[in-house]
Amino acid sequence: MIFRTAALSVTLILLVLTEVWAQNPRKRLAPLKPPKVQCCDEVRAMKVQVANLTSLLEELNRKQETDLMNIVRQMMDLDKQNRQQEARVTEAESKYSEINNRVEIMQLQASQSVTQSSSDAIYDCASLYNKNYKISGEYKLPADEFLGTPEIDVFCDMESNGGGWTLIQKRKVGLTSFNRDWKQYKKGFGTIRGDFWLGNDNIFRLTRQPSTLRIEMEDWEGETRYAEYSHFTVKNELNSYKLLIGNYSGNAGNSLRYHNNTNFSTMGKDNDKCVDDCASIRKGGYWYNCCTDSNLNGVFYRHGNQGKNTDGITWYGWHGPNYSLKRVEMKIRPQNFKS
């Protein structure tokens, strides 16, 4: 009995030991297993991350591509818009010039039809102004049958100082030489929309009625001055287009008075009151005395700098003999003109 009990005890102890033994290795192995699991999880996580990144990259690539495409498309759109705008500007410009042309034609037709139908003829821009043509621009004055002179292209200033002004001279662009001979000054030269001399025959024709002369000047600093003579006449060719002026007003100084009662001189035609040949010294056509207190048909010097030369576009009463003006306009209208 004692042996059986002891045997049972031994068996129990063995069982317990076996159990303990069986548990122990598991306990000892346990710390080995978890790192293996952690490693694989990490790899798996990394794989997932890589996959995610790859798809993100692909997405980014796609997005960049579409962005690029969008930019290209936008640029193409902009280019198209640009071209459309350019076309619109061109169209507007051509429309503008078309309208301008139409206005000019209307002005022309108006002046012509008025001459044919009206009892009072068109003499100058003042006549046109009085017939309600109040846009500044190029007009055609009809031929003068009495004088036997042809029609004249003129530029009418219908805006400044009451309008009705017929321009007889303009210096502004500076590309037209005013150093010309008698014949050219007689007939006129240049372009009506640019620099020109209307012609001594035309000026004689226009000043047969009592006229006012207004001279507007601008210097290279942008300042403007004027000189006005309420009496202005130019005689005919037989009288060498002699100048008669009087009754000055203005703020530029009276620098045409010295030229009053003198004949017109040009290159090759010395009608001045001097031993010298003023026209060749001052390089223009003008009513030279001996020689100048003004030289509005002189040489155009850019920025007024004529150095030591005395042949520029001068008006001594304002800037003296060594300063060439930037812009000059000489215009006339009848003394009795009312705007």
Provide the binding-site residues for Ca ion, judged by CB under 5 A.
Answer: 270, 272, 274
Eight-state DSSP code of residue 131: T
User: Which token pair is 86?
Assistant: 């350019």
Task: Determine contact, residues 104/136, Cβ cutoff 8 Å.
Answer: no
For Ca ion, the closer CB: 211 or 265 = 265
User: Which token pair is 216?
Assistant: 């507007």
Residues in CB range of 301: below 8 A, 6 or more apart: 309, 312, 313, 324
For Ca ion, the closer CB: 104 or 277 = 277
Alpha carbon distance 235, 241 (integer Å): 4
- What is the radius of gyration, based on Cα positions, of the chain? 49
Nearest distance from C-beta of residue 281 to Ca ion, angstroms: 9
For Ca ion, the closer CB: 112 or 280 = 280
Nearest residue to 169 (alpha-carbon basis) of 261, 297, 317, 313 = 297
Nearest distance from C-beta of residue 276 to Ca ion, angstroms: 6
For Ca ion, the closer CB: 233 or 265 = 265
For Ca ion, the closer CB: 262 or 294 = 262
Nearest distance from C-beta of residue 152 to Ca ion, angstroms: 31
Nearest distance from C-beta of residue 300 to Ca ion, angstroms: 24
Nearest residue to 303 (alpha-carbon basis) of 218, 214, 191 = 218
Nearest distance from C-beta of residue 262 to Ca ion, angstroms: 11
